Amino acid sequence: MIEIRSPLQAQIVRWQVPAGTAVNAGDLLLILEAMKMEHEVRAEQGGRLVELFFDAGALVAEGELLGSLERVTQSAPQALPAAAALAAPQQVTASVRADLQRMLERHAPTLDVNRPEAVAKRHALGQRTARENIADLCDADSFLEYGALAVAAQRSRRSAEDLIKNTPADGMVTGIASINRTLFEPERSRAVVMAYDASVLAGTQGMRNHQKTDRMLGIALQQKLPVVLFAEGGGGRPGDVDMPIVAGLHVATFASFARLNGQVPVLGIVAGRCFAGNAALLGCCDVIIATRASNIGMGGPAMVEGGGLGVFKPEQIGPSDVQHGNGVIDILVADESAAAAAARHYLSFFQGLVKDWQAPDAAALRDVVPENRLRVYDTRAVMTGIADQGSLLELRSGFGKGIHTALARIEGRAVGLLVNNPLHLGGAIDADAADKAARFMQLCNAHGLPLVSLVDTPGFMVGPEIETRAQVRHVSRMFLAAAHLRVPYLSVVLRKGYGLGAMAMTAGGFHSPLCTVAWPTGEFGAMGLEGAVRLGFRKELEAQPEGAQRTALYEQLVAQQYEKGSALNMAATLEIDAVIDPAQTRAWLLGALQTQRELPPAQGLAIDAW
């Protein structure tokens, strides 16, 4: 006999089979109830149920004997004839459970495949849906969506069916995904991704999608995950009436978003129109990627008109050429596909070491600086000659053209490049270039990227006109930003290293960086050497008659100053660390970078919005 005992203290709900019934192993014998939950008791092996000691409703203790089974000896089943075996079903397909079916049906309206009209409208504009952008950005099958079943907070004015059909995910798709998983360790590739859906209520910010945003921002801060925001949309939504509020200015989204500043990389992407609240979040991002067809503004046409400021088309407010030229847009691209590619490239600099890299032609650096010291040249060629092939990503190229800022890799290590541009004002640093450089230092400092400065500047820009632009305050930002760096700073003087501008490019002074080296073309002075001769030797020059004699003396004195301020002489007096072959620049930088130890924590390090 086989005993049947109670697995817990419970009440018998019912016996499923009467006494005398033959059962198989696994068959349900009875159901018990405890703490409002039902527990099944099944046969451990086949047999005949012969005794039942308790009726339904009885209370039984744990381990109490409930009944017994008598083993039954069965003859082996005969094999089916061949024809019958072929006809027998090979597999039974289980039907979808009702609860699972309801879940699938409820999710269906959120998917692009079930929204053909909305998708067609987006494609007719030459743009993609929010989900198409996320799919392009993220690694395949890696997106875990949060809050997909949210709808607009408008239940008091619209039916549930209408809201489910026409306000899927409340106009914002949010979740966690992997980006660049094939290049880096899986845990380094995770990111929070949020996309306003312009096909739902014009991508406006509703109460539910504010709640979704706050949830994702909390996860990003807690888990130290980068954030990517597709920001297209029209700002706040006045039609959400379910909430007992007046203005909604108490929402935490903007403070929560800003709190990520300096803690994790925050990247904004815009295609199409981005106004008001959407633009405010965008402006808090470390870097903004935008398409040429984008428009970005703190107020759209309705707000502008409502303020009595005139009637404008959306395309007239913050077009991409304006926003790229004034520094709002960091990376300007052709379309959304290019934006996703640029986003993956940008995020890669904060995801770890790249093992597979290809070096540029180092020898080509020897010929970048012209032998004629008065001839301008493009320092982007130096950037290309130092960075691993394909790794260079320039930021804010339309603004502050006196200094190039870019992210790059040197033998797989991510760095920030800060480079004077002699093609603009001869490399002199004006207010815009200084703002650009100072903020770039903050960006690299916050996220742990070493800085490499390539110097060729006659100094800060001077003159009555430049001082009308608050030059004194703007250029001094470079000294302040450099003084708070926690990352290694390396300087290479390509040609001119003059005055305070050269000091600002070397973190405050030539001995502030981890190393300051120069190419043989380097030339140095407290100010431009020609000007120094005119000022310092004015009496000697004026003592000579105007003409050939004065000119000859001037040229002689200038030549002496150049000899004195040559790179070789500067190294001899230990004002710089070395003079190097340009072809050895990568080797020098790499050797210095390899001395880097663990960085101090990035607590309280902020990146200016500007």
Over 70: is that where the pLDDT of 422 sits? yes
pLDDT at 530: 75
pLDDT at 248: 76
Over 60: is that where the pLDDT of 18 sits? yes
Specify the fold of 2-72.
Answer: OB fold (Dihydrolipoamide Acetyltransferase, E2P) (2.40.50)
Q: Which pLDDT tens digit goes with each residue over 300-316? A: 888 888 889 999 999 99
Contacts with 227 (C-beta within 8 Å, 6 or more apart), sequence order = 191, 192, 193, 194, 216, 217, 220, 260, 264, 265, 266, 267
Place of tokens 């067809």: 293
CATH class of residue range 101-348: alpha beta
pLDDT at 342: 98
Report the range of poorest mean pLDDT among 143-147, 328-332, 519-523, 556-560. 556-560
Cβ proximity of 167 and 200 under 8 Å: yes
Q: Tell me, rounded to whole angstroms, the distance of Cα 512 from its chain centroid.
A: 31
- Rounded to an integer, what distance in angstroms lies between the CA atom of residue 74 and that of residue 605? 78
Q: Which candidate, 570, 537, 567, places its Cα nearest to that of 555?
A: 537
CATH 3.90.226.10 holds for 362-522+566-593: yes
Element (H, E) at 178: strand 172-178
pLDDT at 81: 42
Question: Taking residues 574-586, what's their average pLDDT?
Answer: 97
Question: Taking residues 336-348, what's their average pLDDT?
Answer: 98
pLDDT at 78: 45
Structure pTM? 0.87
Question: Fold match between 2-72 and 101-348?
Answer: no
Q: Which candidate, 184, 102, 199, 197, places its Cα nearest to that of 142?
A: 184
Q: Tell me, rounded to whole angstroms, the distance of Cα 206 from its chain centroid.
A: 24
The amino acid that residue 435 corresponds to is D
- Rounded to an integer, what distance in angstroms lies between the CA atom of residue 154 and that of residue 300? 23
pLDDT at 93: 53
pLDDT at 315: 92
Phi, psi of 296 (to 5 degrees): -130, 130
Over 90: is that where the pLDDT of 538 sits? no
The amino acid that residue 425 corresponds to is L
pLDDT at 86: 38
- Rounded to an integer, what distance in angstroms lies between the CA atom of residue 68 and that of residue 105? 46
pLDDT at 603: 67
Report the range of poorest mean pLDDT among 24-28, 72-76, 194-198, 262-266. 72-76
Locate the domains of the chain by residue range: 2-72, 101-348, 362-522+566-593, 527-565
Q: Which pLDDT tens digit goes with each residue over 373-392? A: 889 999 999 999 999 999 99
Place of tokens 């820009």: 461
Residue 74's pLDDT band (cuts 50, 70, 90): low
Question: Taking residues 414-427, what's their average pLDDT?
Answer: 97
Residue 73's pLDDT band (cuts 50, 70, 90): low
Residue 82's pLDDT band (cuts 50, 70, 90): very low
Phi, psi of 280 (to 5 degrees): -65, -40
Percent pLDDT > 70 in the chain is 96
Percent pLDDT > 90 in the chain is 76
Contacts with 14 (C-beta within 8 Å, 6 or more apart), sequence order = 30, 31, 56
pLDDT at 84: 37
Q: How many helices (H) and strands (E) does the chain have?
A: 21, 25
